[in-house]
A and B are shown apart, each in its own frame.
Chain A
Amino acid sequence: MNHDIYVLGIETSCDETAAAVVKNGTEILSNIVASQMESHKRFGGVVPEIASRHHVEQITFVIEEAMNQAGVSFQQLSAIAVTQGPGLVGALLIGVNAAKALAFAYGLPLVAVHHIAGHIYANRLVADMKFPLLSLVVSGGHTELVYMEEHGKFQVIGETRDDAAGEAYDKVARALNLPYPGGPHIDRLAHEGKVTIDLPRAWLEEGSYDFSFSGLKSAVLNTLHNAKQRGEHIDPKDMAASFQASVIDVLVTKTVNAAKEYNVRQVLLAGGVAANRGLRAELERKMAELNGIELVIPPLSLCTDNAAMIAAAGTVLFEQGKRADMALNADPSLELA
């Protein structure tokens, strides 16, 4: 056994300023997240300029807290890992430049991490990854099915062609006059309501693992609009339940089909929408029917944006010899490769 690897992770791709220290890519020593959600609430969504301003205010506080809680010194660190993209460019820039300054000050290797790779690697903090595996990544900005043959190698086999699932949740929540962020509210309402409204499911072409949620979103908005015109009342609970059923049906069916076709040993759920109870329950139910494929769902704190996942993914890339230099830039539309 070689000596232990300690990696400091930094994540600022959206509205969370986060830093964490992870040991050997699997053990969380600290995981600090400063959320700006309260600040963005009044605008009904994340305002990029305001997010960037908050990141500057928080960045050193958060890193200091992560280092203190971990009880690790910079001299003990093996590398610094930072989210390079995708995300809001102004927000990403704060993490990237802070990481570069730290790497320079201490002569430490710098590793650039793809945000989605981070979400997937959140799973390594709770379970061993068994290859080949399939990961369903669902968040406000992403809906992707990623196949992995081995560590650090990602193949996107399906992605959304329009809205991300989380985006559809937010838009439908707004139409139902639910507070921001709407996802958790819909999930809660859905459990109280019944699936009474017939909403479309976008399966796309035969065999495709891509997603599309804009048609579903429009169908919800139209149904609400038409009911209002006719003076009919639609129970928001039933709408939430019907909408959620449609989203989950597509997500789970495609995931299960891909898991079978690619003959994977493990299915990982990742991203903020993994916090959705309905999705968790349905995925668990369907996966139980597939013998021998393990399902891993990280705890909520590791599903939403955090830096432990970035440190975990960064550790693997570091071990594979991947390095970034002082010219590293934020890339808001970075591809997962």
Chain B
Amino acid sequence: MKILAIDTSNVAMGVALVEDDIIKGEIVTNIKKDHSVRLMPAIQSLLKDCGVSPHELGLIVVARGPGSYTGVRIGTTIAKTLAWALNIPIVGVSSLEALAANGRYFSGVISPFFDARRGQIYTGLYRYDGGQLECIEDDRIVLADEWARKLQERQERVLFIGSDIPLYKETFQQQLGDFAQFAPPSLQLPRPGELALLGKNKEKADVHTFVPNYVRLAEAEAKWLAKQKGENKDGDGNSISLNDLK
């Protein structure tokens, strides 16, 4: 089966074509340019290079967030529209899980992360167990300081992965000391090939109702909800996240 994997959830853009267990091709760029302009041409060129027509595809796997709202929506929209048009299934994979896959040979826990501005990061905690990637702490948005303190309590080695390492290296190092390990540049970008392979074994989603995982509510909605509750404590709508509402 031919799988097309798409990731535009953050700055890096990734597209992969995987057939059975062979990665036929990957395109990865890490530049701040419009995903909306570049994603379809990348898919077009990758399939053309591999000599595959869209109608030969059997599955679409997409990184469904967390990440940039706009980026995640572009990937999700193209993925679900393609899946619907081609009448093939769609699978969504956490953008963080796809990034965590780069830590395959690490024996401790893995914290993939993306900057979410104002000292916050999108992250979760993962671990390889018998070659299987497991999520041990759900994806979330959290203050990097707070996350570092939480990890410190574990007293085990943590591998941080992501191209935003330079922004938070000091924070993590200060809190975790030698427990903090950092992925080198060659392992900081999510591999769309990993995304395809992760998605292959996951449950298929309903195409029509498939939506990104934004992790948090739109700011206006969070504020509105807080107002309804009459407890707009700090005036910051971001204090309510989707996690809190579950």
Contacts of A46-90 to chain B: CB distance below 8 A: 47, 49-50, 52-53, 56-57, 59-61, 63-64, 74, 90
Contacts of B211 in A (CB 8 A): 53, 56-57
Stretch at the interface among A219-227, A288-296, A322-330: A322-330
Q: Which of A60, A74, A93, A96 has the most CB of B within 10 A?
A: A60
Contacts of A52 in B (CB 8 A): 69-70, 73
Contacts of B214 in A (CB 8 A): 53
Within the complex, what minimum Cβ distance (angstroms) separates B95 from chain A?
A: 16
Q: Is B224 located at the chain interface by the 8 A CB criterion?
A: yes
Q: CB within 8 A of A327: which of B40, B54, B74, B209?
A: B40
Q: Is A262 located at the chain interface by the 8 A CB criterion?
A: no
Closest B residue, CB atoms, query A51: B218
A59 touches B85 (CB 8 A): no
Indicate with 1 or 0, residue by residue over B186-222, a CB within 8 angstroms of chain A CB atoms: 0000000000000000000001110110100011110
B220 touches A43 (CB 8 A): yes
Contacts of A61 in B (CB 8 A): 208
Q: Which of B77, B214, B218 has the most CB of A within 10 A?
A: B77
Within the complex, what minimum Cβ distance (angstroms) separates A97 from chain B?
A: 5
Contacts of A285-337 to chain B: CB distance below 8 A: 325-330
Q: Is A131 located at the chain interface by the 8 A CB criterion?
A: no
Chain B count of residues within 8 A CB distance of the other chain: 35
Stretch at the interface among B12-20, B31-39, B117-125, B149-157: B31-39
Closest B residue, CB atoms, query A99: B81
A97 touches B81 (CB 8 A): yes
Contacts of A53 in B (CB 8 A): 73, 211, 214, 218
Contacts of A60 in B (CB 8 A): 80-81, 84, 207-208
A42 touches B224 (CB 8 A): yes
Within the complex, what minimum Cβ distance (angstroms) separates B57 from chain A?
A: 9
Q: Is A98 located at the chain interface by the 8 A CB criterion?
A: yes
Q: Is A142 located at the chain interface by the 8 A CB criterion?
A: no
Given contacts A97-B40, A100-B40, A327-B38, contact A50 B73 (CB under 8 A): no
A105 to B54, CA, bound (A): 6
Interface of B is mostly: helix
Within the complex, what minimum Cβ distance (angstroms) separates A110 from chain B?
A: 10
Indicate with 1 or 0, residue by residue over B27-58, a CB within 8 angstroms of chain A CB atoms: 00000001011111101100000000011000
Interface of A is mostly: helix
B40 touches A94 (CB 8 A): no
A102 to B54, CA, bound (A): 11
Q: Is B148 located at the chain interface by the 8 A CB criterion?
A: no
A43 touches B69 (CB 8 A): no
Q: Is B96 located at the chain interface by the 8 A CB criterion?
A: no
Q: Is A127 located at the chain interface by the 8 A CB criterion?
A: no
The bracket for how many chain A residues form the interface is 20 to 34
Q: Is B76 located at the chain interface by the 8 A CB criterion?
A: yes
Within the complex, what minimum Cβ distance (angstroms) separates A39 from chain B?
A: 9
A330 to B37, CA, bound (A): 9
Contacts of A59 in B (CB 8 A): 77, 80-81
Given contacts A50-B221, A329-B37, contact A101 B73 (CB under 8 A): no
B212 touches A56 (CB 8 A): yes
Within the complex, what minimum Cβ distance (angstroms) separates A156 from chain B?
A: 26
Contacts of B80 in A (CB 8 A): 56, 59-60
A57 touches B73 (CB 8 A): no
A94 touches B54 (CB 8 A): no
A56 touches B218 (CB 8 A): no
Contacts of B86 in A (CB 8 A): 105
Contacts of B219 in A (CB 8 A): 49
Within the complex, what minimum Cβ distance (angstroms) separates B117 from chain A?
A: 15
Q: Is B82 located at the chain interface by the 8 A CB criterion?
A: yes
Indicate with 1 or 0, residue by residue over B224-246, a CB within 8 angstroms of chain A CB atoms: 10000000000000000000000
B34 touches A101 (CB 8 A): no
Contacts of B142 in A (CB 8 A): none
Closest B residue, CB atoms, query A43: B220
Q: CB within 8 A of B78: which of A57, A64, A74, A97?
A: A97
Closest A residue, CB atoms, query B75: A97
Within the complex, what minimum Cβ distance (angstroms) separates B91 from chain A?
A: 16
A217 to B82, CA, bound (A): 46
A319 to B214, CA, bound (A): 41
Contact residues of B with A, CB < 8 Å? Answer: 34, 36-41, 43-44, 54-55, 69-70, 73-74, 76-78, 80-82, 84-86, 207-209, 211-212, 214, 218-221, 224
Additional A-B contact list (13), CB under 8 Å, known A56-B76, A97-B78, A105-B86: A43-B220, A50-B221, A60-B207, A64-B208, A94-B77, A96-B36, A97-B74, A98-B77, A98-B78, A104-B44, A104-B54, A329-B36, A329-B37
Top 7 A-B pairs ranked by shortest CB distance? Answer: A101-B81, A105-B85, A326-B40, A49-B218, A98-B81, A47-B220, A60-B84
